[in-house]
Structure 1
């Protein structure tokens, strides 16, 4: 197939997935690092890409004045609004059934009770999709629904079916009590996992699109990593499973098992934080819009911007939109505002030169913390202060 046609088809599939489905059912950025880098306080006004809303809820624990969650995909905001309703009008046990266990038989009745308190678009979405939380032995977990969840389900189930040894060894890896036991467990798993099938799956652009990785990011990884995409993934997986404690790595646990454990889950799902987050939810708002569109209509000023990794895609796909986004950010940024970004690449070359001139970066801080990232799939993270 012609390379240009192949790229166009890949981009079209990515746009189709992101325009027609819930993509992220959990955040894939480590909020423990976010909160250290952002240094939020009682006067903070934060703008964040919604994603699954997990990290925005965690930010409320630092007592900011405002957390504005912005996403082009209304389904991501509908997910966060469902979480808000559970905090405000349900018990901690019910919240954990939905988002800790990934669903259960009681979720339909809980939803029916909450439905009248949801925004109209949220209720319309979950009326069609509340079965994501059906739970039970014959039903998939919520965390195996949506685009990224479907990819995780396909990957784990296919490998589990074809590799019974992997199915036996993974629980040992997740249950490891110390670093040495964890390294031994991973040493047993790695050769079973990495064979021709898994290498073929990792190289599929369609699977990467379901996980939320667009073609430009794949190209960026291939160009910046000596081992290409496969080498990048192998290196990141090895680092995560040998250098970060599985006992607290809820990111990988939830996709491998379909659920969190009470002692291994996001902060918003810990019972000791339930009342605090419930009391502060009035400070959190959701907006279905582009970041530029939101900032044009909500002039701030804002002290913090959490941009995730969407600028990688904009830099390749629509550089004019990226330049406009930075103009909007600078127009509403408070003096000394902090900007947190991640990238598939290793540096900030994806940023417009005009934006780089107005930002001060702190690689000595971010590079050290990046090594402690429990997700481990990004090439780099960047903290900047607006000059």
Structure 2
């Protein structure tokens, strides 16, 4: 042992010099065996040489690589082979027996096992910064890190939120050997406001501050320690007593679910929480051997005592990816004293005598009170609660539209919006709703989509405008590429995202690593278009057309180069495929049947595309097709919210406060609203999707539109047909002035997109 230690303290160059020495030794052994070959036959000599070489190589490798393998070997010995012994009810002795041999290697051996710690710390740091910047947290916070061990959490937190910004940092741990490592760490850093306490987490006391901590702590973190605490419930109660009204709690730990859904799932946003039968039983039994308790009720109690801000349920693919899946969760909570009034989540009319329907009361208020703990703790009250496990939501794995196809300029010409308007719009990618907010700043914009991912996308845009600088926001949604998106998400954007949206984007953070606009189902169409351009060798022609400075130049390239290739037999065959129309372009079969009654698919596409190049310049105003051809926007051709002036106006004007995002059907959203509440409804081409032979739901929708609209309120829609069959339903329910605002004619465009054959408006008397 002494020899091995001496070798390991030698410089690497001297250690490597042992290699030729060893080879010389092997050669001398060979000479020796040849000299005494009278005693050894050739076969014995051969195997003796092999064994000598292998033994020497293994010994040298062991010596040279000891620095790399000593940590995992000591970790495996302490966790799997070392006998802890019988310590009775003395938890401190048991923990010290387990950790004393690995205290010095603890941090180096836990990186792959204890996942999610950095995520938890970054979320806490981002939340603290947001509360300090908005004035919600005035004083420097006190931070208590329970079960803080070696102080790794505190050192990592310093990278996101400097330690000197805390009034005091208190590390509490029951294991003396780990506390010694932490004390040395902090002394080397020179942090004077950090205190290490080797005490029980449920009843620790800070010398000189015995009673001063109650109700004053701004941050409490517990990293893979709650499951190890025998006195679990008193610890959670102690956290509650310590936390200030504006304080937050961060927890990361292992867990297993029960057979049934956890009670906390009825009041806090959860996804991917349930574990399969094997995972539940195996990991519960496995961790129990080391006195780690994964009873589902522990986590439920934690979420019951606090409001949920963020919740992530993950699997740690430790050592063997996708075979070993240890469930762990990252959770951010706050004091229930932080809960605002429910009125913040549901719009109550200014006229208190307004009559709210029985169905509206039931759908609005019961859904909010069902899980108000979760959604009333958001920093921004954009997203309304929904049930993610319903089949109508789980059918969507991604957003269909990464960008919006309807032209908002034409909308605004007819909408005549004012700051008193209350709008009801389909979310899509949110671009048009942002345009309405930017140009008119209406009182309220209700965005409705049954696909949760579409609302996740709009919520990310709202949070990005609120949290980011323009250059970062442009990289995300202008260039469609930001390699640092994961850092932005955790450090800046997360405080302004609902837990649902944060879960989604943390699982899909790679969407911005390449080309964002090639993601989602609409990205399939852009990928095919990109492939087609490359195969046809049209790259230079596309560049000329999208950078042309005159309409004449643009039309010439279209007529002579692009158009002949677009209407090739192969492309026509693809465009006639209903599966492609739905998955790539979002055109359902009923909408396809509608335009096929008036023309062929070929004629419809010709009527759509031919007028585009003569309508407006791609380089300056035609950002819809510029995006399709380039998979990105340019600063001169992009939606208004992506311009610097538009971004700054949305950021500073308070226009974003008008947004409310509903994840439900249009019919359910309308039913949840009061009579005479809305002034404008923009339902895009939604009604084209219904079957004319079975239109009971659409009939009910139009009836609810009339009920919720104020007198003089209007409904706007687009259609693939020049005379939609459902216009008669508006007449049936008493709407007046059902008028065509635009009907597409051959060779003429009704707007910059020109994708629809007509644009209509109906008015409530």
- The question of whether the paired residues in 1 share the 8 Å contact of 2:452 and 2:663 is answered with yes
How has the CA–CA distance of structure 1 residues 68 and 219 changed in structure 2, closer, same or farther, with 3 Å as cutoff? Answer: same
Query: SS of 1:20's equivalent?
Result: coil
Query: SS of 1:22's equivalent?
Result: coil
Which residue of structure 2 aligns with residue 281 of structure 1?
656
Partner Cα distance (1:90, 1:16) in 2: 30
How has the CA–CA distance of structure 1 residues 191 and 371 changed in structure 2, closer, same or farther, with 3 Å as cutoff? Answer: closer
Q: Aligned to 1:219, which of 559, 579, 593?
A: 593
Equivalent runs, 1:24-63 vs 2, <5 Å: 24-61=401-438, 62-63=440-441
- 1:232 deviates by 0.8
Shifted more, 258-267 versus 230-239: the winner is 230-239
Q: Could you list the runs of 5+ residues in structure 2 that have no partner in the other structure? A: 1-391
Q: Which has the higher contact order (CA 8 A, sep 6+)?
A: 1
TM-score, with normalisation over the residues of structure 1? 0.89
Partner Cα distance (2:559, 2:395) in 1: 36
Partner Cα distance (1:242, 1:344) in 2: 22
Q: Aligned to 2:615, which of 243, 247, 261?
A: 243
How has the CA–CA distance of structure 1 residues 18 and 241 changed in structure 2, closer, same or farther, with 3 Å as cutoff? Answer: farther
Partner Cα distance (2:677, 2:553) in 1: 49
How has the CA–CA distance of structure 1 residues 167 and 318 changed in structure 2, closer, same or farther, with 3 Å as cutoff? Answer: farther
Q: Could you list the runs of 5+ residues in structure 1 that have no partner in the other structure? A: 1-14, 136-140
Which residue of structure 2 aligns with residue 12 of structure 1?
none
Query: SS of 2:418's equivalent?
Result: coil
Partner Cα distance (1:178, 1:309) in 2: 32
Residue by residue over 1:33-60, the C-alpha shift from the partner in whole angstroms, topping out at 9 and shown as x without a partner, is 1111111001110000000011101101
**Two-structure CA RMSD over aligned residues (Å):** 2.0
- 1:191 deviates by 1.2
- The question of whether the paired residues in 2 share the 8 Å contact of 1:268 and 1:277 is answered with yes
In the alignment, is residue 148 of structure 1 matched against residue 522 of structure 2? yes
Q: Max radius of gyration: which structure?
A: 2
How has the CA–CA distance of structure 1 residues 366 and 354 changed in structure 2, closer, same or farther, with 3 Å as cutoff? Answer: closer
Q: Aligned to 2:540, which of 168, 187, 201?
A: 168
Partner Cα distance (1:50, 1:16) in 2: 15
- 1:242 deviates by 2.9
- The question of whether the paired residues in 1 share the 8 Å contact of 2:680 and 2:714 is answered with yes
- 1:192 deviates by 2.5
Q: What is the number of residues matched between the two proteins?
A: 363
- 1:275 deviates by 2.7
In the alignment, is residue 102 of structure 1 matched against residue 480 of structure 2? yes
TM-score, with normalisation over the residues of structure 2? 0.46
- The question of whether the paired residues in 2 share the 8 Å contact of 1:323 and 1:352 is answered with no
Which residue of structure 2 aligns with residue 158 of structure 1?
531
Q: Aligned to 2:513, which of 134, 138, 143?
A: 134
- 1:317 deviates by 7.4
Residue by residue over 1:139-160, the C-alpha shift from the partner in whole angstroms, topping out at 9 and shown as x without a partner, is xx11111001122212x13312
- The question of whether the paired residues in 1 share the 8 Å contact of 2:743 and 2:750 is answered with no
Which residue of structure 2 aligns with residue 115 of structure 1?
494
Which residue of structure 2 aligns with residue 258 of structure 1?
631
Q: Aligned to 1:351, which of 727, 736, 739?
A: 727
Q: Aligned to 2:576, which of 199, 203, 206?
A: 203
- The question of whether the paired residues in 2 share the 8 Å contact of 1:132 and 1:142 is answered with yes
Higher helix share: 1
Residue by residue over 1:273-331, the C-alpha shift from the partner in whole angstroms, topping out at 9 and shown as x without a partner, is 22321221111110101111111112251000000001011244750100010111111
Residue by residue over 1:229-278, the C-alpha shift from the partner in whole angstroms, topping out at 9 and shown as x without a partner, is 11111221111123332231101111211100011000111111223212
- The question of whether the paired residues in 1 share the 8 Å contact of 2:393 and 2:452 is answered with no
Partner Cα distance (2:693, 2:544) in 1: 43
- The question of whether the paired residues in 2 share the 8 Å contact of 1:41 and 1:63 is answered with yes
